[in-house]
Amino acid sequence: MSSTSFTPNLSNVSNESSLSEDLPQRLFTRKELIPPDNDVLWRIERGAVRTLTWSEDGIFITLGYWGAGDLIGYSLSKVQPYQIECLTSVEASIIPQRLWYRDVDAFLSHIKHSEELLSIVHLKPMSLRLGKFLLWLSEKFGRDVEQGKLIDLNITHQEISEVLNTTRVTVTRILQQFEEKEALLRYKRRIILLSANKLMKTIV
């Protein structure tokens, strides 16, 4: 009886691999909305977006901030209305539903970041809420500079207030207090955290 060797059929595996490596991409401009589609997810390759909804009174409620490596998509939320707005120019890969199983780590990261932000927006007093939010932003969008950590995101006081459920005036006042106590610097509409420890001591 002659022995036969078995060679596995790897054609499907290689095809799926090439699909994941050569995903179609799209470019978006600042303030552009990611188009709604429940059959795809978007992986951010470059840039930053925010997910948001709004109340019956037209008050915007920011649900999350997302950057490079994050997965976003309309199928990840049951909130209505729901939008994904580009805060910068954005480059994103389109991930079809059949390949979602490859991104388990990104799904888990999405859940963790959402829960972290949810816990922050219920903190009191407001100075603690804002301080923790700045630290959260610095972890996602921060880069080291000579003075400290630059939050490399052009976020307005109004947008911060929409996240933290407060007013723009309150955000401006507390940021001024942080700056006076040398916990942060503001440079060209961006924020530099001089020291995380100093920021927390300022709040206490």
Measured at the CA of 165, the angle between CA 195 and CA 131, to 5 degrees, comes to: 10
- Residue ending a domain, choose from 103, 134, 168: 103
Q: Is residue 112 part of a domain?
A: no
pLDDT tens digits for the chain (204 residues)? 444 444 444 444 434 433 445 889 999 999 999 999 999 999 999 999 999 999 888 888 899 999 999 999 999 999 999 999 999 999 999 999 999 999 999 999 999 999 999 999 999 999 999 999 999 999 999 999 998 999 999 889 999 999 999 999 999 999 999 999 999 998 878 899 987 777 887 776
- pTM of the predicted model, to two decimals? 0.81
Task: Round to whole Å and give the CA distance between 195 and 187.
Answer: 16
Number of domains into which the chain is organized: 2
Domain of 71 in residue numbering reads as 11-103
Q: Are 88 and 156 in the same domain? A: no
> What's the CATH number where 98 sits?
2.60.120.10
Note whether 97 and 18 are same-domain residues. yes
Q: Are residues 70 and 136 in the same domain?
A: no
CATH number, residue 153: 1.10.10.10
Give the DSSP letter of residue 1.
-
Query: What dihedral do alpha carbons 42, 72, 140, 79 form, nearest 10°?
Result: 160
Choosing from 50, 68, 103, the residue where a domain stops is: 103
Task: Count CB-CB contacts under 10 A for residue 197.
Answer: 9
